[in-house]
Structure formats: C-alpha cells, structure tokens
C-alpha cells in the first residue's frame, strides 16, 4: 500500500527537526530519531521494538 509511504514522506519533508537524522518508522508512525544510527537502534530496543518491527530512513538536507 503506497499511500502509507506517501504519508510518511510528506510528514518527514515538513518536519525540519528530522533533517540530518536517522528516523525509525513503522507504517506511517515515527517511532524515534537520532543523529547516530546505532544509538537509534539501541533506543528502539529499549522501547521494546525488535529490529524487524521498524525501518530506518536517513533524512538528508536537500537545498
């Protein structure tokens, strides 16, 4: 279902605090974000998520 992906892309695009960060997502829900991918994965594990439960995107600044 690509409609969920479109929603995630829009949400990330308008959320400036996520630029330059790794973002953990599940469906159209943002679970967490960090400048360090390893720290993000550890934080998600602390919150009880397994690695297969979420995807990680890097939000790059594009002028």
Q: 56: pLDDT confidence band, cut at 50, 70 and 90?
A: very high
Tell me the C-alpha distance between 4 and 15, whole Å: 17
pLDDT grade for 7, boundaries at 50, 70 and 90: low
Q: Per-residue pLDDT tens for 27-55?
A: 989 999 999 999 999 999 999 999 999 99
d(CA 21, CA 37): 8
Among all chains, which residue has been given the structure tokens 């400036």? 16
Residue 8 pLDDT:
53
By CB atoms closer than 10 A (0-12, 13-18, 19+), residue 14 is exposed
Note if the pTM is more than 0.75. Answer: no
Helix extents (H) in the chain: 2-14, 37-46
Give the mean model confidence (pLDDT) for residues 3-29: 71
- pLDDT at res. 59: 87
């Amino acid at each position: 279902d690509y409609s969920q992906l479109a929603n995630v892309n829009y949400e990330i695009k308008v959320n400036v605090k996520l630029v330059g960060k790794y973002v953990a997502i599940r469906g159209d829900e943002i679970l967490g974000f960090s400048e360090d991918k390893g720290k993000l994965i550890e934080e998600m594990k602390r919150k009880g998520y397994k690695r297969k439960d979420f995807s990680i995107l890097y939000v790059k600044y594009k002028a």
